[in-house]
Amino acid sequence: MKPGTHPFNVIGQLAALRRYARSLARDPDEAEDLVHDTLVRALEKQSTFRTGANIRNWLLSVLHNTHIDRLRHKRAVARRDAATLDLIPQSAQADQEHSVRLTQVRNAFLALPEDQREALHLVAIEELSYQEAANVLGIPVGTLMSRISRARARLRAIEDKEGTAQVTHLRIVGGPADDQ
């Protein structure tokens, strides 16, 4: 081992932990609390970390388990989900099409059931392999693949629904029919 290096370097993993925590908690302050609790637990359980193992995957697993433990102690999960979705702006100026589209995608992602959102986040955003993501979540690979498949199907269904919506209450103003 090089001088000054340590196999239990959690500082280098903070960005990934924060991204995953935000995906799970859906609230920046709660996500920071989750990362803090994860780091405390990781330091307390440092002796269970196998030298040579992947610290990132181990920390993501600790974060996931910490999140599950917090959910068991709180009964406000449904209220938090509803409150998060209610806080997202429902309208935007016409010149902000890209921003509106990102908001729609974010809303659709946040509306996924938690087990599907966790699986999709780890594979699509954190770029973990199916096996690594399954290990983080503590589930079989087949279950992970099923959750990802259902999440993608649900997002496609939302996309199809939004893409085929017809606007019938608007009319063109300033055209030849308005001259009459």
User: For residues 81 and 87, what is the distance between their CA atoms, to the nearest angstrom?
Assistant: 10
Mean pLDDT of the chain, nearest integer: 81
Residues 34 and 67 sit within 8 Å (Cβ to Cβ): yes
Q: Report whether pLDDT(23) > 70.
A: yes
Stated pTM of the model: 0.54
Cβ neighbors of 46 (< 8 A, separation 6 or more) are: 8
User: For residues 69 and 93, what is the distance between their CA atoms, to the nearest angstrom?
Assistant: 41
Q: Could you read off the pLDDT of 63-88 as tens digits, one per residue?
A: 999 999 888 877 655 675 666 777 77
Q: Could you read off the pLDDT of 124-179 as tens digits, one per residue?
A: 989 999 999 999 999 999 999 999 999 999 888 877 776 544 444 444 445 455 44
User: For residues 57 and 79, what is the distance between their CA atoms, to the nearest angstrom?
Assistant: 30
